[in-house]
Amino acid sequence: MTKIALIVNGSRHEADVEPRQLLAYFLRNELGLTGTNVGCDTSSCGACTVLVDGESIKSCTVFALQADGSEVTTVEGIASSGELHPVQQAFHEVHALQCGYCTPGFVMATISLLQENPNPSEEEIRLGLEGNLCRCTGYHNIVRAVQAAARAGA
Amino acid sequence: MIPAAFEYERARSVDEAVELLGRDEDAKLLAGGHSLIPAMRLRISRPSLLVDIGRLDDLRYVREDGDRIAIGALTRHAALVRDPVLAER
Cβ proximity of A46 and A133 under 8 Å: yes
Q: In chain A, what residues touch B31 (CB-CB under 8 Å)? A: none
Q: Which of B1, B8, B34 sits opposite A19 (nearest CB)?
A: B8
Cβ contacts of A63 on chain B, cutoff 8 Å: 8, 33, 37
DSSP-based three-state secondary structure for A134: coil
Shortest CA distance from A18: residue in chain B:
B5
Give yes or no for a contact between A152 and A89, defined as CB atoms under 8 angstroms apart: yes
| C-alpha distances out from residue A52 to A86, A134, A150, B64, Å | 20, 22, 22, 30
Query: Are A84 and A104 in contact, with CB atoms under 8 Å apart?
Result: no
A-chain residue closest to B39, CA distance: A42
pLDDT along chain B (89 residues), means of 10: 91 97 95 92 95 95 94 92 89
Sheet of B7-10, strand order: B7-10, B49-52, B27-30
Give which of A65, A67, A123 is closest to A57, Cα–Cα.
A67
Question: What tens digit of pLDDT does each residue of A11-57 get?
Answer: 999 999 999 999 999 999 999 999 999 999 988 999 999 999 999 99
CB A65 to CB B52 under 8 A? Answer: yes
Give SS3 for A140.
helix
Exposure letters A120-145 (e unless 16+ CB within 10 A, then b) = beeeebeebbeebbbeeebbebbbbb
Nearest chain A residue to B55 by CA: give it. Answer: A66
**A95 has a pLDDT exceeding 80:** yes
What is this model's ipTM?
0.89
Q: Do A63 and B37 touch (CB under 8 A)?
A: yes
* Mean pLDDT on A113-134: 96
A51-78 pLDDT, tens digit each: 999 999 999 999 999 999 999 999 999 9
Residues of B in contact with A20 (CB under 8 A): 2-6, 40
pTM of the model: 0.93
- A67 close to B (CB below 8 A): no
At residue B1, the pLDDT reads: 60
pLDDT score, position A36: 98
- pLDDT of B78 reads 85
Predicted local distance difference test score (pLDDT) of residue A123:
97
Cβ-in-10-Å burial (0-12, 13-18, 19+) of A103 comes to buried
The mean per-residue pLDDT over the stretch A98-106 comes to 97
Nearest by CB to A61, which of B38, B52, B54?
B38
